[in-house]
Amino acid sequence: MNKQLDDLLDLLDLERIEQDLFRGRSRSALVPRVFGGQVAAQALVAAGRTVPESRHAHSLHAYFLRTGDPGAPIVYEVDRIRDGRSFTTRRVVAVQHGRPIFHLSASFQTAEDGLEHQAPMPPTTDPELLPTAAEMLPRYADRFSDPGIVGRMIEARAAFDLRYVDEPPYASVGVPREPHSQVWFKTNGKLADDARPDSVQGDPHLHVCLATYVSDMTLLDSVLLAHGRGGWTVGDVVGASLDHAMWFHRPFRADEWLLYDQESPSAFGGRGLGQARIYTQDGRLAVSVIQEGLVRVPR
């Protein structure tokens, strides 16, 4: 396990300050605000710690309400909405400086048998044949006005091995492409199965929380591709996540290759919609994701 992954796991290991009250910290981000995937993952950790281990997250729905301050702790307030025979529902509000910055509703279910089908995995490329972020990003250093951004981008994503199947948005600024993007990802190191119960690695919800963290990194890429925009790091658009929804269909491990197949069906009114499916390397549909983001062109 590399240091960045160890730091991320430490970030997700929230401090319990009361029965349903947790406190989290933030890590440095590419922009001067808390990374949305971090808040969503921490909120799901908080919800999961109030749920029996036999119940697993099957969906979450979230809204990003305000910009988070990376220099201040975030308090997560968990509301135990319902504990049924098969399902458990939790609501989590993330608070900073006395104001809510994020709201999440999550549902958990006991395992049971039922009907089964899935959309097939789309054609893709073997992830081992693709360049790593550290290999790919320096190729596009001339696209960024800030010469130090490449190193910060590599550092910000170093907890994961994240590989683009095709070129990222900042590779072809000014050239509209099909609004479709594929990314392979997994943690940069194996996660223990026999960790101490008081360790975040012993958390039964850890893999879905890590997938939640990554899901906010590239989902709006497909919106940018449709318009030949390079993104927030290039400076030709201003954006932020507005809302986020995920459905966890089948078990998976975040330390094994996962294909994030993303597309954008619409952009209008300063907003862009991204929708995606996450597949295991052997073709099982593990997660569905939908996100709407603010995507504005600077005047």
Statement: residue 110 has pLDDT above 90: yes
Name the catalytic one among 216, 221, 236, 261: 216
Percent of the residues in the chain that have a pLDDT greater than 70, as a whole number: 95
DSSP lists the bridge partners of residue 161 as 186
Q: In which band, very low, low, confident or very high, does the pLDDT at 195 lie, cut at 50, 70 and 90?
A: very low
Q: Report the distance separating Cα 167 and Cα 178, nearest Å.
A: 12
C-alpha span between 102 and 61 (Å, rounded): 11
Mean pLDDT along residues 211-232: 93
264 is catalytic: no
Report the C-alpha gap between 127 and 114 in whole angstroms.
32
Q: Does residue 152 have a pLDDT over 90?
A: no
- What number is the average pLDDT over the span 198-202? 57
147 compared with 106, residue with greater pLDDT:
106
What average pLDDT does this structure show over 267-271? Answer: 96
Mean pLDDT of the chain: 92
Give the model's confidence band at 236: pLDDT under 50 very low, under 70 low, under 90 confident, else very high. Answer: confident
Q: pLDDT value at position 126? A: 98
Q: Beta partners for 183?
A: 164, 260
Whether the pLDDT of residue 196 is over 60: the answer is no
For 107-113, what is the mean pLDDT?
96
Annotated active-site residue in 107, 181, 241, 275 = 241
Q: Tell me whether residue 79 is one of the annotated catalytic residues.
A: no
Return the minimum-mean-pLDDT range out of 24-28, 114-118, 180-184, 267-271: 24-28
Structure-block tokens of residue 261: 């197949």
pLDDT tens, position by position, 40-55: 999 999 999 999 989 9
Residue-wise DSSP of the chain: --HHHHHHHHHHSPEEEETTEEEE-----SSSS--HHHHHHHHHHHHHTTS-TTEEEEEEEEEE-S---TTS-EEEEEEEEEE-SSEEEEEEEEEETTEEEEEEEEEEEE--------PPPPP---GGGSPPHHHHGGGGGGG-SSTTHHHHHHHHTTTEEEEESS--GGGSTT----SEEEEEEEESSPPPSS--TTSGGG-TTHHHHHHHHHHHHHTTHHHHHHTT---TTTTS-EEEEEEEEEEE-S---TTS-EEEEEEEEEEETTEEEEEEEEEETTS-EEEEEEEEEEEE---
Backbone φ and ψ of 149, nearest 5°: -65, -35
**107 belongs to the catalytic site:** no
Confidence label for 199 from pLDDT (cuts 50, 70 and 90): low
Higher pLDDT, 142 or 121: 121
- pLDDT above 70: residue 197: no
pLDDT of residue 151: 87
